[in-house]
């Protein structure tokens, strides 16, 4: 059925949303000095961030494979893409107000806006997507090695904001969120390859129902973009209000 929802994919995306919310709430507590943590260097937090972003992009790849299988038109794709790109601009504006020195210039929504176009254009690659994903994941390490060998002038160019969105850098930029095209496109490609495989060989795995207890996660996954845009302003606003009252 065209445009049918896949509750299991929605629930998986909803799980990522809940995990992200807990992560961001802990970050907010640290930001306001209520529970200081080293989010940039502590593996407990950095590994979680990597896992959360991976789960998001895997779900995005799954979603694209389903959309292509259902015959989604390019016009509908571009409507959804415009929503994501517009929200990415809002994230940049909001983060520039709150974190002027480290605002988000290429975070998860910026990365998704680019990667979704690439994923859509390469949907016909079939099993090659698995290999392409592996190469995409490996390229940042290969690029860093090559740039270090090439010298500081070329490295400085790729480390700048003009090109660091590619992910071929020798140092990560100072920003609150950074999800460059590489290696993350590889994760989205793997998600698309997995979705195509399951749709072709094990369709029931995607289309099956979810237990009633997971119904809330499936609902949340259907509204992931709206929730993503609202959850941090609500949590930050609530913490600011609470601090204003207790202090």
DSSP 86-114: HHHHHHHHHHHHH-TTS--SB-HHHHHHH
122-136, 140-154, 176-190: the lowest-pLDDT one: 140-154
Neighbours of 43 (CB within 10 A): 9
Q: How many separate helices (H) and strands (E) can be counted in the chain?
A: 10, 0
190 class by beta-carbon count within 10 Å (0-12 exposed, 13-18 middle, 19+ buried): buried
Distance of CA 164 to the CA centre of its chain: 17
Tell me the per-residue pLDDT of 41-66, one tens digit each, with 9 for 90 and over. 999 999 999 999 999 999 999 999 99
3-state secondary structure of 106: strand
Domain boundaries, the chain: 7-246
Tell me the per-residue pLDDT of 160-209, one tens digit each, with 9 for 90 and over. 999 999 999 999 999 999 999 999 999 999 999 999 999 999 988 888 89
- State pTM to two decimals: 0.95
Cis peptide before 183 (omega within 30 of 0): yes
Tell me the per-residue pLDDT of 4-53, one tens digit each, with 9 for 90 and over. 789 999 999 999 999 999 999 999 999 999 999 999 999 999 999 999 99
Q: Return d(Cα 61, Cα 67) in angstroms, integer.
A: 10
């Amino acid at each position: 059925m065209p445009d049918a929802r896949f509750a299991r994919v929605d629930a998986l995306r909803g799980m990522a949303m809940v995990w992200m919310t807990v992560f961001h709430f802990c970050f907010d507590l640290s930001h306001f000095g209520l529970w200081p943590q080293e989010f940039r260097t502590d593996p407990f937090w950095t590994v979680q961030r990597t896992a959360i972003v991976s789960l998001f992009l895997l779900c995005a790849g799954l979603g694209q494979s389903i959309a292509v299988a259902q015959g989604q038109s390019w016009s509908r794709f571009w409507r959804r893409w415009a929503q994501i790109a517009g929200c990415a601009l809002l994230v940049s504006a909001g983060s520039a107000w709150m974190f002027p020195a480290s605002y988000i210039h290429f975070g998860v929504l910026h990365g998704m806006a680019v990667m979704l176009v690439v994923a859509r254009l390469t949907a016909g690659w079939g099993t090659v997507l698995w290999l392409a994903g592996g190469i995409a994941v490996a390229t940042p390490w290969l690029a860093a090695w090559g740039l270090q060998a090439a010298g500081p002038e070329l490295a400085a160019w790729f480390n700048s904001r003009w090109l660091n969105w590619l992910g071929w850098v020798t140092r990560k930029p100072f920003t609150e969120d950074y999800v460059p095209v590489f290696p993350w496109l590889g994760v989205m490609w793997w998600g698309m390859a997995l979705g195509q495989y399951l749709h072709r060989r094990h369709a029931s795995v995607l289309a099956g129902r979810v237990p009633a207890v997971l119904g809330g996660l499936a609902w949340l996954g259907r509204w992931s973009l709206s929730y993503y845009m609202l959850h941090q302003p609500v949590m930050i606003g609530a913490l600011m209000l609470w601090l204003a009252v207790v202090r």
